[in-house]
Amino acid sequence: MTSLYTLTDLSKGYTRGKESITIFEELTMTIPEGDFMAIMGPSGSGKTTLLNLLGGIDRPTSGSVECQGVRVDKLSEGKLAKWRSQNVGFIFQFYNLMPTLTAAQNVELPLLLTGLSGKQRKERVATALDIVGLADRKGHRPRQLSGGQQQRVAIARAIVADPKVLLCDEPTGDLDRKSADEILETLQLLNKDLGKTIVMVTHDPSAARYARRELHLDKGRFVEQVQEPAQ
Amino acid sequence: MFNQIGAVTMINLRSIPQRAGLSLATIISIALVTGVLLGFLAMSNGFRATLQGTGSESVAVMLRAGSQAELNSGLSSDQVRLIEEAPGIARDAEGAPLVSGELFVIVDGIKRSSQTEANLPLRGVGTQALALRDGFQMVEGRMFEPGTNELVVGAGVIREFSNFDLGETIRLGPNEWVIVGIFSTGGSVFDSEIWADIAVIQNLYNRGTGVQSIRARLTSPEAITELQAYEEGEPRLNLDVQSETDFFAGQAGGTAVLIEIIGWPLAIVMAIGALAGAWNTMYSSVDTRMREIATLRAIGFSGFAAAVGTMVESLVLAAIGGLVGAGATYLVFNGVSASTLGSGFTQVVFSFAVTGGSVLAGMIMAVIIGFFGGLVPAIRSAYVPLLTVHRSE
């Protein structure tokens, strides 16, 4: 498989007062296109930080993040925002929907950054909501939806602009088991049927089993475990 | 970019009800600033309009040189005779010069609103006085009979002062008068006056045959220069000659400017308070939406769009405040009759006038408050850390 991401000697740390804290050092890895990778590890191991670096919402202390030939860590803020809008779909633990917008309006947000007409945007939104099984809830506001439904709206928002990669930060962390399984099945479907590359941070082993492989991040190092996806 | 700004603005505006209390406080404080400013401007405009509306370019007003106001002017009847013979003076159908020597004394009236005494001008006029006031008409009753203790009262005096109703007998100083008519000159300053026969006033107030001002109708507005030249060349005359328009513009200026001098600084001080309120509201708006803003930025929205959205929210709140303030001022004050001390140390009755210009000034002030109140929060929203996306609510 062609590699989507290449991380080379990636280090990230920050200072708190006079204290220097290293999260990870000289991390090198590739993420192939079409992968579904679960990143696990204890709290503070740098799982979310890694996800932020992949998504271009944080910058490394040193090393490089390359995505299909683009040095993401070197892009200016403006270019980085454009790159994110074209390549990355984010799914957050707390859904991060706009409470005053309807499901359809939330899903439409990434499309406002494209040159699509209003009609084209509507069609794309309908398709995305259909994929996550919420076509009949397009006029509902987030507070009128359950947690699982809100996360599915967030997934629709993440895929509507057809990005190459979905970055999921504890996507089932706020959900009950049944809703969590539905979300994970949806992610698996997106990976298998639509070929989306998915990087998912989770602390839940049963969630990680939906991925093609698990990476355990501990003390700044990866331990890889390849597995058959859960059925 | 417009799509981005539109979306962020819509999200911001729709979230206003979540901060209803603070947003309402901002709207009210900006409405109060606009209301106070418009109130003062309406007063100043009304006062200016009353005095400026009084003047005619075709009427000359003459006072003793250097006296500036009728109250401290004094002229002899000889000077009136000389003006009657002056060039540029219009004449009536019978060929009589349209010249009116007038006396001006101050009497006490009781204000309806406060039941306190205030100065009222009692003007002694002759028969020609009416021909020198455009738009003069008797609203009720009749003109006074020369040589009697009869008064006619301006419509403004009736509105603002007690005991001047038609048919009443009123004591002004040592003398009793009967009110026989109510006149109007279309809202001009003369509506704030009481008129009686000049000969009676001269007699009762021991003024001999003297007058305090001379009014004369000119053959044309340009004839004022002829009259001024005549006055300069005639050693028995020592007068300031000016058109009635210029005379009242000078009288209006001082008081109107004084009202504005009080009004603007008061509004500006209040505006600073409102600005702090707007700033607080917008800061809170950005604070409560930090995660939303960061999410939009993570999706790819620009910091500029986030800043513009915040600014538009601030401007919308300010504009609503401005409109509420202007609307309330218009409903409460526009056309309301009031009186204040004019340059002649007498009460001038005028109507508050909320004009388009002053509404515009109030709205500009509201928008300026919105702009500066929203500026720092808008900049802050452009730089919300992207990592805030992971924050739980």
pTM of the complete model beyond 0.80: no
- Looking at beta carbons, which residues of chain B come within 8 Å of A157? 299
Distance of CA A159 to the CA centre of its chain: 10
Strands (E), A125-212: 165-169, 197-201
**Strand order through the sheet with A221-226:** A88-91, A165-169, A197-201, A36-40, A213-218, A221-226
- Looking at beta carbons, which residues of chain A come within 8 Å of B387? 52, 57-58
A7-11, B35-39, B122-126, B181-185: lowest mean pLDDT where? B35-39
Ordered alpha helix ranges (H), B129-243: 155-160, 198-204, 223-233
Contact B109, B122 (CB under 8 A): no
Distance from the Cα of A171 to chain B's closest Cα (Å) equals: 11
Choose among B179, B103, B154: nearest CA to B350: B154
Judged by CB atoms within 8 Å, which residues 2-31 of A form the interface with B? none
Structure tokens at B283: 């800061």
- Looking at residues B141-153, what average pLDDT do you find? 93
What confidence score (pLDDT) does residue B274 get? 78
Contact B350, B255 (CB under 8 A): no
A158-162, A207-211, B244-248, B249-253: lowest mean pLDDT where? B249-253
Strands (E), B133-174: 137-141, 150-154, 169-172
The string of pLDDT tens digits covering residues B256-306 is 777 777 777 877 887 787 778 778 888 887 888 889 889 999 999 988 888
What confidence score (pLDDT) does residue B266 get? 76
Instruction: Report the alpha-carbon distance of residue B59 to residue B220 in Å, rounded.
Output: 9
Q: Please, which pLDDT band fits residue B100 given cuts at 50, 70 and 90?
A: very high
The string of pLDDT tens digits covering residues B13-69 is 877 887 788 788 888 888 988 888 888 888 877 777 776 666 788 899 999 988 878
Nearest CA in chain A to B290: A96
Distance from the Cα of B187 to chain A's closest Cα (Å) equals: 54
Q: Please, which pLDDT band fits residue B186 given cuts at 50, 70 and 90?
A: confident
Residue A15, SS3 per DSSP: strand
User: What are the CA-CA distances from residue A217 to residues A6, A24, A25, A105, A220 (Å)?
Assistant: 17, 9, 12, 37, 6
Answer yes or no: is pLDDT of B374 > 80. Answer: yes
Report the share of chain A in percent with pLDDT over 90. 63
Instruction: Report the alpha-carbon distance of residue A49 to residue A201 in Å, rounded.
Output: 10
B contact test, residue of A50, A57, A82 with most B CBs within 10 A: A57
Q: Which residue has the higher pLDDT, A173 or A71?
A: A71
Computed over its alpha carbons, how large is the radius of gyration of chain B?
30
Q: What is the DSSP letter of B146?
A: T
Ordered alpha helix ranges (H), A66-117: 77-87, 103-108
- A118 and B CB contact within 8 Å: no
A141-155, B335-349, B369-383: lowest mean pLDDT where? B335-349
Q: In whole numbers, what is the pLDDT of chain B averaged over residues?
A: 85
Q: Please, which pLDDT band fits residue B321 given cuts at 50, 70 and 90?
A: very high
| Alpha-carbon torsion (A138, A143, A149, A152), positive or negative | positive
Q: Please, which pLDDT band fits residue B197 given cuts at 50, 70 and 90?
A: very high
Distance of CA A15 to the CA centre of its chain: 27
Answer yes or no: is pLDDT of B383 > 60. Answer: yes
A67-71, A87-91, A200-204, B67-71: lowest mean pLDDT where? B67-71
- Looking at beta carbons, which residues of chain A come within 8 Å of B392? 93-94
Residue B131, SS3 per DSSP: helix
Residue B61, SS3 per DSSP: strand
Q: In whole numbers, what is the pLDDT of chain A averaged over residues?
A: 89
- Looking at beta carbons, which residues of chain B come within 8 Å of A110? 299-300
Burial of B284 (0-12, 13-18, 19+ CB in 10 A): middle
- Looking at residues B69-92, what average pLDDT do you find? 88
Nearest CA in chain A to B17: A100
Nearest CA in chain A to B5: A112
Report the share of chain B in percent with pLDDT over 90. 29
- Looking at residues B187-201, what average pLDDT do you find? 87
What confidence score (pLDDT) does residue A158 get? 94
Instruction: Report the alpha-carbon distance of residue A123 to residue A133 in Å, rounded.
Output: 15
The domain limits of chain B are 2-52+251-390, 66-237
Amino acid code (one letter) for A47: K
What confidence score (pLDDT) does residue B280 get? 82
Q: Which residue has the higher pLDDT, A57 or B18?
A: A57
Answer yes or no: is pLDDT of B225 > 70. Answer: yes
Answer yes or no: is pLDDT of A228 > 60. Answer: no
| Token pair 């009847």 in the structure block, residue | B77
Answer yes or no: is pLDDT of A231 > 50. Answer: no
Instruction: Report the alpha-carbon distance of residue B179 to residue B164 in Å, rounded.
Output: 7
- A192 and B CB contact within 8 Å: no
Computed over its alpha carbons, how large is the radius of gyration of chain A?
17
Q: What is the DSSP letter of A153?
A: H
Instruction: Report the alpha-carbon distance of residue B123 to residue B215 in Å, rounded.
Output: 13
ipTM of the shown complex: 0.91
Instruction: Report the alpha-carbon distance of residue A203 to residue B265 in Å, rounded.
Output: 62
Q: Which residue has the higher pLDDT, A5 or B350?
A: A5
The string of pLDDT tens digits covering residues A174-202 is 888 988 998 999 999 999 998 999 999 99
Highest mean pLDDT among A88-97, A172-181, B122-131, B247-256: A88-97
Answer yes or no: is pLDDT of B346 > 60. Answer: no
- Looking at beta carbons, which residues of chain A come within 8 Å of B298? 55, 57, 84, 90
Question: How many inter-chain contacts (A to B, CB under 8 Å) are there?
Answer: 68
Nearest CA in chain B to A174: B392
